[in-house]
Amino acid sequence: MGQPRRRFTPEFKQDAVDLCRRSGKSECPVARELGIPQPTLNRWMRQVAGAAQGSNSFLATEELKVLRREVEQLRMERDILKSHLRGSVNDGDVDRHPRRIANSTPQ
């Protein structure tokens, strides 16, 4: 079996692209110095080139993924609560007009 696939943080990807741009070297020597495959660094360079100018694309992409997962989780929770509430209303368990007891003190 081969080696497990390596994962790189968005910060590492951004630093690798910045290093390649600042050093003036081509992707090949920079990739070799960092110990990553050249096609991987090439892909990161293309991703940054396709992103909006001045944006920190890898961090923004990672944050977007996290936020989308959170939204999906919240939607599922909402749907579960809606279906539970709907079932409770149909069963007559929920009082639609709860009585408010204001300043009631036993005498």
Give CA torsion, residues 8, 10, 15, 18, to 10 deg: 120
Please tell me the CATH code under which domain 10-90 is placed. Answer: 1.10.10
Six token digits for residue 67: 């936020």
pLDDT of 53-103, one tens digit each?
555 677 777 788 889 999 999 999 999 999 888 877 666 555 555 555 555
Count other Cβ atoms within 10 Å, centred on residue 100: 6
Instruction: For the chain, give every domain's residue range.
Output: 10-90
- Whole-number average pLDDT of the chain: 80
pLDDT given at position 99:
59
> Measured between alpha carbons, how far is 25 from 47 in angstroms, rounded to an integer?
18
Q: Is the pTM of this model over 0.85?
A: no
Count other Cβ atoms within 10 Å, centred on residue 51: 14
pLDDT given at position 5:
82
